[in-house]
């Protein structure tokens, strides 16, 4: 799509990210997977190249904001290691973007700049044992005591939770109203007494990432650590959902791209009945369908990113992109494994890893079902129905 949908500058940036992914991530991607290693130095190295700063202002260490460059980073790193990019995104997007949008200048210097520079790792803490898509059941409470808050509660499925230095935590500050109207967000420093990592989950995929269950017991949070105003937390956590979903869609394009390329090459090399299996329409037509879905996912993602970049509302487009791209990634990995046959079910090829990794993102960042709800809601709204 060079020269048609991306500018020359964006293509040069892509080349830079791709070179980093191939030189710095690819050589250790299988070790990260097999040993379940979290490689913090990769996040630090990405920061040196500006890959954590695509959505943030230069005054705080960023190179943006540029949602298009963010989707470039997401696709290129994820095409090599989904787990590495999920760790990056959790810090530089999920945690950092709300701080960037709602934090004061002083808060951004303290809580954003070290993240963008790769000096610290961030995590965003919303999901709880009884809270997923619907926050109405949120149990975490932050009780005000003069100029401080006492934070109590549990969070689970928190990416980077056990390795983060700074955590953006959502908690109810006014239990007398719906959490949408009575929630606040705070930055909690990981060395604060009362904060506990209960465990890291042993996952089906995304090995090398850290997804944790966390507990907060009478954690004292200074008032100056509140991001946004008291009881404004719902606006803080949802303001950048379009950005988050578009970024995850870009990752999914990366998840799809590698299995697709592996399958296409394998179909040209694998010989059955005296000819490459690409000669059979059962294989070549499947490759054609995979290529079409992949290109459509990339274009949907780019459209959402361009809209966000221009300050346009992209709720429908971001939901469409994430829904379609994550479905495409999982289906593409599954089709690729089928083309490879028995060898695809082994670890000699990366396809089985991408199949496992891609399955998570039909859940995280907004489930497929929630995204379809958002799309239909926006369709009816646009039609005035």
What residues act catalytically?
A: 244
DSSP codes of every residue in 155-207: EEEEETTTT-SEEEEEEES-TTS-HHHHEEEEEEETTSTTEEEEEE---SS-B
Q: Are 368 and 323 in contact (CB under 8 A)?
A: yes
- Alpha carbon distances (Å) from 149 to 145, 171, 193, 233, 237: 6, 11, 13, 15, 19
d(CA 300, CA 218): 44
Buried b (16+ CB within 10 A) or exposed e, 134-160: ebeebebbbeeeeeebbbbbbbbbbbb
Rounded Cα distance between 120 and 219, Å, is 20
Distances (CA, A) of 218 to 47, 180, 186, 215, 221: 34, 23, 14, 10, 9
- C-alpha–C-alpha distance, residues 300 and 147, integer Å: 46
65 and 92 Cβ atoms separated by less than 8 Å: no
Output DSSP code: residue 25: I
């Amino acid at each position: 799509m060079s020269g048609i949908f991306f500018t020359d500058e964006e293509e040069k940036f892509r080349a830079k990210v791709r070179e980093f992914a191939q030189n710095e991530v690819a050589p250790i991607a299988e070790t990260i997977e097999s040993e379940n290693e979290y490689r913090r130095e990769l996040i630090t190295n990405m920061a040196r190249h500006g890959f954590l700063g695509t959505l943030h202002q230069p005054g705080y260490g960023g190179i943006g904001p540029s949602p298009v460059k963010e989707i470039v980073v997401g696709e290129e790193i994820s095409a090599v290691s989904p787990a590495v990019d999920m760790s990056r995104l959790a810090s530089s997007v999920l945690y950092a973007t709300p701080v960037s949008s709602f934090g004061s200048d002083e808060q951004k210097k303290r809580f954003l700049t070290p993240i963008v520079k790769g000096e610290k790792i961030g995590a965003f803490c919303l999901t709880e044992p009884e809270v997923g898509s619907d926050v109405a059941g949120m149990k975490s409470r932050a009780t005000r005591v003069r100029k401080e808050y006492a934070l109590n509660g549990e969070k689970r499925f928190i990416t980077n939770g056990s390795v983060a230095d700074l955590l953006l935590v959502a908690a109810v500050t006014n239990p007398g109203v719906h959490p949408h109207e009575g929630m606040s967000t705070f930055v909690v420093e990981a060395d604060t007494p009362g904060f506990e990592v209960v465990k890291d989950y042993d996952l089906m995929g995304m090995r090398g990432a850290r997804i944790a269950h966390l507990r907060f017991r009478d954690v004292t949070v200074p008032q100056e650590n509140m991001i946004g105003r008291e009881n404004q937390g719902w606006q803080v956590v949802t303001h950048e959902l379009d950005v988050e979903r578009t970024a995850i869609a870009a990752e999914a394009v990366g998840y799809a791209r590698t299995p697709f390329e592996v399958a296409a090459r394998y179909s040209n090399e694998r010989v059955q009945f005296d000819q490459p299996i690409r000669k059979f329409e059962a294989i070549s037509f499947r490759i054609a369908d995979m290529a079409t879905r992949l290109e459509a996912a990339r274009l949907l993602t780019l459209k959402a990113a361009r809209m966000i970049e221009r300050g346009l509302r992209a709720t429908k487009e971001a939901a469409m992109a994430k829904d379609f791209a994550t479905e495409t990634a999982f289906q593409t990995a599954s089709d690729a494994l089928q083309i490879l046959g028995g060898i695809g079910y082994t670890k000699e090829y990366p396809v089985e890893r991408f199949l496992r990794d891609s399955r998570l993102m039909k859940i995280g960042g907004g489930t497929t079902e929630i995204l379809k709800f958002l799309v239909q809601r926006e369709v009816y709204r646009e039609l005035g129905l």
